[in-house]
Structure formats: C-alpha cells, structure tokens
Structure 1
C-alpha cells in the first residue's frame, strides 16, 4: 500500500488534471486539506511539498498555495525552432522585434560561428511569446551570407522555416543552460520581478554539414518554461 502522503499527492494531482482545481486557483489551507484527508498536517505538508517540487503547485509567501501555470517544455535533443515548440503544445507563438542590425562579429561570435573578423552578421534582439505571454528574451547572431536573400520579416518571425525553404538543412545544436537572476531591461521584457529566477541558454545551431549558422543567448522566464532530457 502506498504511503498516505503519496496517495494524497496522487489524488490532488488527479483533481487538477480533471479541472477541479484550475490553473492559478488558490487551494484550501493545509488545515482544511488535512481535515479532508483525515491525516496530520505533517503528512499533508509532505504531499504538498512534493507537488511544489514537481511544479504542479506553487507557494506564494504570505498568500497561500496555488495551482501552477502550465510550463512550456523543450526537449533537449536535436534542433527545434521556438515556433515549432510553442505550436506543438497548442499555443500561439508570436514575436516582438526590438532591434535588427548589421555589423561585424565580436571575438566570441567569430569563434562560435567560425567567421573571419571582417565578415558581416545580423544581430537581432527579440521577445518571444506564447499566447501573448512573454516567455523568452533573446539576442541571436546570424552570418549575413546565409540570409542575404531572405527578408527581415521572414528571418525575425520564422527563422528556421525560412532557412529550410531557402534550401538549407538544419542539423544539430549545442546548448549550455545556467541559472541567473532577472535584472535590468529583461525584467520589463519578460514581465518578471528583479531578482526572480530565470533560465539562461546559450545555443549554437548547425547545418547538417556541420557549419554553424546561429549563435543565440536567451533568457527564459523560469516559471513559464522548462527543459527536459530524453535518452534513447
């Protein structure tokens, strides 16, 4: 027989899946839940803590425990565009273009993109949305030679699709993920509080022939996005 806190965990999770408890809804107090399930508050707290750790619930200091909003998930395998990720989860993607400038690559961009100092790049700064909710702020650097015949709108709105239609074959990507605290203008772009946890991602994407075509640094609103690994 499963421990009592696991049974309570499973019951609450099932009720959330069934829509009895809605996303963003405040749950009853631990005392009320403990009375309902006829267990001690310590046992009830074990179940709630596990649900919080799984991202199903979230605690707000001084306010209570709430059903967490659905997070968008990206599988850490292969190379997939943001647009495809969002659409695959039944949401509507959109993009706010902040800047789109041509220039020369810095030393780090030269190294990641295997460019000579005098080659040209396009540096685009964007905020990406899912159902009009800001999810990620990113700065992407692309060698200009790959997009010379592609319009700015196509590049900024559906970059991978535009490359594919231009005859390029998308290959692998290398990603580095790190944790950081939101600060500066990013807090406004993502609608988060200064000091709130966010996910940083640095990614280099390659064509099938191994040639790098994009170097991007992204900052994701941690409560709205998560990465997961899948092994074969």
Structure 2
C-alpha cells in the first residue's frame, strides 16, 4: 500500500504547480516572451522537488503554453489562447476568463435560403431562411479564429439588429430568455485555404483546428450551429480528465 501512495502525491504536486503557473500567465504575472524563473527559484516558490518542477514545465511546453528556445531557456509563449472543453462558453467569455481582450471583425451577415446541410442540422424547413454570420475573432488584437454561425430565423432576428462586431451572442439570447442548455462538439484537423491564411496571418496549407458545435436551447431544440477554424499556432485546448 505504501508504495502506491507516492506516485499519487507526485502527480497531484506537479498538476498543482502546472495549474498555478497557468493562472499566473493568465493574470499577466508571467509576461508573454518573458523568461520563466529558474528551476531553483521555482523549487523555492512552490516548495517542491526539481523533478516536480520539470514535470510541470514539460507538460506546459507540450501544451504550447511555454516554449523552449535553444541557447536561451524557456519563455512564456506569446498570444496563445488556451480553451477549455469543461463548460459551454462562447469565444468572448473564454477570452475574458483568460485575461485577454476579445474583439471581432464582421465578414458576412445575411439571411439565406441556402445551406441545406446546416438547415437539416438545425431542423429548419428547407424553404425557410436562416441567419448566417461570419466573423474573424481576435484575442488581444491577434486574429485567432474564423467563425461561421447559423441560426434559425426567429433567433437570427434578435441578433441581426445588434452590433455584431461587439456583441456577445449568448448574452443577447439570455436577455431574451433564451438559454443554452448543452451542446455537441466535434473537433478535427484541417488545412488553411489561402483566404483563411491571409485573414489569420499564417501560411497557406497550415494545420488548423476545426470545431463544429451544435447548441441546444430551452426546450432541447437546436438553436445554433457554428463552425470555427482556429490557428493551431495561437490556440490550444486544455482538458482536465479524472478517473
């Protein structure tokens, strides 16, 4: 029994260190591009062993939060948006929670009778219009993602009269007593088109994360279908798993 308790304690320590470091980065105590403290300084700050510090730092490097630079050391990787899959949130909500300033550039807004696939997902009659909104999403003025969302006409009419560069969709819905209950998400890898690459300031053909989300409202009816393509250099998911 005694031999099994040691690994559990070790795991909890480096996870605690890792989570505290993430919090310090979010609170701007560790600045982008800045060198992180030395191992000795971190050992003293967290009162843990060198092995624990190295485990925590190694995970943060793997997750893209820190970056090792040859001949220099380890720095805080700049402009990285760390998303979470633990709760249903919009882009702006997630950005604010990470201590970042969210903004958008409207690319397209239209009521359309096209998009049969998206209509079928939303359970909208084929002869009915849906609202289509495309936006370029920024965090701290850095382009992070291209978002295309589809909404049934009744909900779309609530959105289309607002400033869609500044508004938070979910807040508008809640003001109208429409609340998201749950969502289904699918994540896949895609390559950036030249148009997408130009918008995001990346190379054509570069790997991107594609997230498809179908959200359900008050009466378990689908009310939003969104496809978001994230620059993989600027965005990563952080998932906590428990057993």
Distance 2:84 2:218 in 1: 19
Picking from 102, 119, 127, the partner of 1:110 is 119
Pair 1:193 & 2:203 matched: yes
> 1:142 maps to which residue?
151
> 1:90 maps to which residue?
99
- Structure 2 unmatched ranges of 5 or more: 1-16, 37-53
Q: Write out aligned runs for 1:41-190 (5 A).
A: 52-58=61-67, 67-69=76-78, 71-155=80-164, 157-190=167-200
Change (3 A) 1:207 1:98: same
Picking from 206, 226, 233, the partner of 1:223 is 233
1:149 is displaced (CA, Å) by 4.0
TM-score (normalised: structure 2): 0.70
Distance 2:61 2:84 in 1: 22
1:92 is displaced (CA, Å) by 1.2
- Structure 1 unmatched ranges of 5 or more: 1-9, 28-45
TM-score (normalised: structure 1): 0.73
1:79 is displaced (CA, Å) by 2.0
Count of matched residue pairs:
212
Distance 2:85 2:138 in 1: 20
1:107 is displaced (CA, Å) by 2.5
Partners of 2:217 and 2:223 within 8 A in 1: yes
Alignment root-mean-square deviation, CA: 3.8
Secondary structure at 1:187's aligned position in 2?
helix
Change (3 A) 1:70 1:105: same
